[in-house]
Amino acid sequence: MFNYVATITQIKFTPYICGSVLGMVPDALVNIYSGRLILALADLKYDQRRMTAVEIVYNVISAIIAVLIGVGFTVYARRALDGIQSADGARQPEPAGIPAIPASELGGDRHRSSSSVLVDVV
């Protein structure tokens, strides 16, 4: 997807390479860590090997850090996407041909959001 967007936007070479590297490094680190952890757990099960206290602490701390980084990236990406969507929504003009109806004309105690439109059903 990144490659496709980069060709459409005519992005320059240096930012493209930097973005590619920054996008691949976290994935590579997670894959390497996951492989090492799975190998360690497989060794424990099949080789009847015991882990030292240092290895246990290292694996627990590493797993916690990996989860926190994953959650952090997810939260950051969600906020960035929400910001982009809200900026795009603010720039889009209201549809033409739909008159704004004041709340006083809607009648009764009904509360409607500003995006509600009264529609006549034919």
Same-domain pairing of 5 and 45 = yes
Q: How many structural domains are present in the chain?
A: 2
> Helix 2-9 and helix 13-46: axis angle, to 10°?
180
> CA angle 25-28-31, nearest 5°?
150
What mean pLDDT is predicted for residues 111-120? 52
What tokens does 16 get?
């493209």
What gap in Å lies between CA 3 and CA 16, rounded to an integer? 9
Within-domain flag for 38: yes
Determine the structural domain holding residue 45 and report its residue range. Answer: 1-50
Q: Is the pTM of this model over 0.85?
A: no
pLDDT at 77 over 80: yes
**Could you read off the pLDDT of 36-61 as tens digits, one per residue?**
888 888 888 887 778 888 988 988 88
Same-domain pairing of 73 and 44 = no
Same-domain pairing of 38 and 58 = no
What gap in Å lies between CA 14 and CA 20, rounded to an integer? 10
**Could you read off the pLDDT of 59-68 as tens digits, one per residue?**
888 888 888 8
Within-domain flag for 83: yes
Same-domain pairing of 75 and 89 = yes
